Structure 1
């Protein structure tokens, strides 16, 4: 599930949204109200239940080959996503929807950019589309999906490596075993 040219996507478990209005999320580090969405490259970050903690790592321009082999595996692509066993059932059962939004009002946010934001209300280009099997989406995109007992050992090693990485909803992960 990716946007077409001139579009960005917003993923949600709510199929009833008619208009996206800028707001400050409870968990946001940003004080300004925004409508959040993602472009083509960051869509896989949201192929999860909303509250599912996930640690993601991928090969970047400065990533050492041994780090790719260590975290992703030899011959296993260039990207890995990890969740905890406690979220696997939700991953298989969630009803996730993608809203296609016009890209024009959105600008990149973050350094490097990890999402796009709009400061004005945005109306979807059509009804929300059900997102298919999330595990299958990972497979089709060539993204290794790893299921772990605890995310923290993986996260701590990835963030100390040359891999590029992102963690979402990590506050929902089990407590560290370290």
Structure 2
């Protein structure tokens, strides 16, 4: 699910929203009240249940071939999303909805323009649309979906690379895996 021209999207598990009113989210780094949305390129970041921790990486114009091959995989497309195994059941069973909103009141926010915000109430252009099967959505978009026991080793590689990246709800991820204990070999 992606927005059409002159639209942005808001994803929610609540199918009853009739008006989006600016507010300050409890986890917001921004003190300003906003209505949040995403455009075409960042919509896939939200093809997940709300609280699912996810690490995402994609090819940028200055991405090196080595980073692309090492992290995304040679011939594996231009984007990878990673979640933990414990997220799979929620991804299979969530009922996620996309709200199409008029793009007019929204402006880019953030250093890299990752999201769009409005400071006025916004009404959806129509009823919410069920997003459907999240795995099929990733597949149809050519986005590799990687399932890991722990996101932190992957995330560490991604943030050191030349890839574009985003991490959402990482505070909900499993604790970083402890390094293996040193072992002595006996013969």
For normalisation by structure 2, the TM-score amounts to 0.94
Tell me what 1:132 maps to.
132
TM-fit CA distance, 1:62: 1.3
Instruction: Measure, in 1, the Cα distance between the counterparts of 2:5 and 2:156.
Output: 36
Tell me what 1:142 maps to.
142
Q: Where does the alignment leave 5 or more consecutive residues of structure 1 unmatched?
A: none
Instruction: Measure, in 2, the Cα distance between the counterparts of 1:176 and 1:112.
Output: 27
Tell me what 1:115 maps to.
115
Tell me what 1:76 maps to.
76
Tell me what 1:16 maps to.
16
Structure 1 residue runs of 4 or more that deviate by more than 2 Å after TM superposition: none
Tell me what 2:185 maps to.
none
Question: Structure 2 matches for 1:1-178, cutoff 5 A?
Answer: 1-178=1-178
TM-fit CA distance, 1:76: 0.6
For normalisation by structure 1, the TM-score amounts to 0.99
What are the Cα deviations for residues 5-25 of structure 1, in whole angstroms up to 9, with x where unaligned?
110000000000010000000
TM-fit CA distance, 1:107: 0.3
Instruction: Measure, in 2, the Cα distance between the counterparts of 1:23 and 1:81.
Output: 28
Q: Where does the alignment leave 5 or more consecutive residues of structure 2 unmatched?
A: 179-187
Q: Rg larger in 1 or in 2?
A: 2
TM-fit CA distance, 1:61: 1.3
TM-fit CA distance, 1:144: 0.2
What are the Cα deviations for residues 45-74 of structure 1, in whole angstroms up to 9, with x where unaligned?
000000000000001111101111111111
What are the Cα deviations for residues 97-141 of structure 1, in whole angstroms up to 9, with x where unaligned?
000000000000111100100000000001000001001110010
Aligned pair count reads 178
